[in-house]
Structure 1
Amino acid sequence: LGGMMIEMIQNADLSILHAIQGAASPALDTLMVAFTTAGEYGAVWVLLAVAMIAAGKHRTYGFAILTAIALVVLFGEIGLKHLIARPRPFLLDPSLATTLVTLPDSYSCPSGHTASSFAAATVLCLTPLVHRWLKPVAVGTAGIIGFSRLYLCVHNPTDVLFGAVVGTVCGVAAVAIVRKIAEALHNGKAQA
């Protein structure tokens, strides 16, 4: 029963990827490669975190973004990916292999690009920002980075969904951790 269920999910995933490929265009190729590149190793989010730390106003949340990405690497990339050991979609269906990006040789689930993006976006949603419009922009950017992984057929839809869940959990955990540390440091200074 478990094997049949996994096969049904895999078939549905591959069908969705083929449907997305039907909408491919040179303009979308360029856009999706740009978003995937921005999400590589959480690059766009790390830069944002460093800028927040440097600016000083939301320093705690900048550290929370870095913590969230570290949790994604630890639990998603090092832990879950090797535990689940799911092959990339283009290995199951070679017609999905793209020449737009270098094909990854790691396992597929969860999507690291998606997880780190949703981890950072979750932290930003929990940040008391004056410009509230930045929150949906962050979530939208995370969503497009996740979609870019489907467009390029380097992940299955379920890998991206699971990546979004892992990232959201890591983002919430990171904010809780960093807030506790900031509180402890503040209390330590107050007692000193």
Structure 2
Amino acid sequence: MIQNADLSILHAIQGTASPALDTFMVGFTALGEFGALWALLAVSMIASGKHRSYGFAILAAIALVVVFGEIGLKHLIARPRPFLLDPSLATTLIDLPSSYSCPSGHTASSFAAATVLCLAPLARRWLKPVAVGTACIIAFSRLYLAVHNPTDVVLGALLGIACGCIAVCIVNTIESRRKGRQA
């Protein structure tokens, strides 16, 4: 029943396809590959020294996503990709992934990083909605390209938010202990 609803939503999204959207969605899905965009942002935060601990939190959050999502849940749930269930959804715009579908790793890493940024005391607060918006577009790109089901993306977002919160807690605890030792 859920699978039928997921496939119906994917077919509805496919009905909106256009060459301009194809290019846009392929670009955003590439940004989310292996959490690359977010890892680069984290490294730049660490290198700049400003909000260094939140840069480490982004990397920790992505690592948690890999452990819990890619290594754990994907193999536990073992859900096939939607284009395997309905070949009419297969795209030629990107290389089709061979791993299991649920949860969406692109979505999880994007929401993990966006969560960390939302919890960071950034002077440029406008970066927070930009991070969330970027995570949402990356997540939607996975649906547009029909490499994930909507429920895979929802679970990926929830996993990412949880991993982001856990990573911030871990980094804040380490920072507090470090400052306590210096006092």
- Cα offset, 1:189, TM superposition: 2.2
1:108 aligns with 2:105: no
What do residues 124-146 of structure 1 show as CA deviations (whole Å, max 9, x unaligned)?
Answer: 00000111111010000000000
1:82 aligns with 2:75: yes
- Cα offset, 1:184, TM superposition: 1.1
Say which of 20, 23, 27 aligns to 1:34. 27
Say which of 3, 22, 30 aligns to 2:15. 22
- Cα offset, 1:49, TM superposition: 0.3
Which residue is equivalent to 2:168? 175
What do residues 60-99 of structure 1 show as CA deviations (whole Å, max 9, x unaligned)?
Answer: 0000000000000000000000000000000000000000
Correspondence 1:1-192 to 2 at 5 A: 8-190=1-183
What residue identity is the alignment partner of 2:120? T
**Where in structure 2 are there 5+ consecutive unaligned residues?**
none
- Cα offset, 1:38, TM superposition: 0.3
TM-score, normalising length from structure 1? 0.94
What residue identity is the alignment partner of 2:48? A
**Local SS of the residue matching 2:32:** helix
**Local SS of the residue matching 1:102:** coil
TM-score, normalising length from structure 2? 0.99
Q: Deviation above 4 Å: which 4+ runs of structure 1?
A: none
What residue identity is the alignment partner of 1:60? S
**Local SS of the residue matching 2:98:** coil
What residue identity is the alignment partner of 1:128? P
Larger radius of gyration: 1
- Cα offset, 1:185, TM superposition: 1.4
* Residue correspondences, number: 183
**Where in structure 1 are there 5+ consecutive unaligned residues?**
1-7
What do residues 104-135 of structure 1 show as CA deviations (whole Å, max 9, x unaligned)?
Answer: 00000000000000000000000001111110
Which residue is equivalent to 1:3? none
What residue identity is the alignment partner of 1:115? A
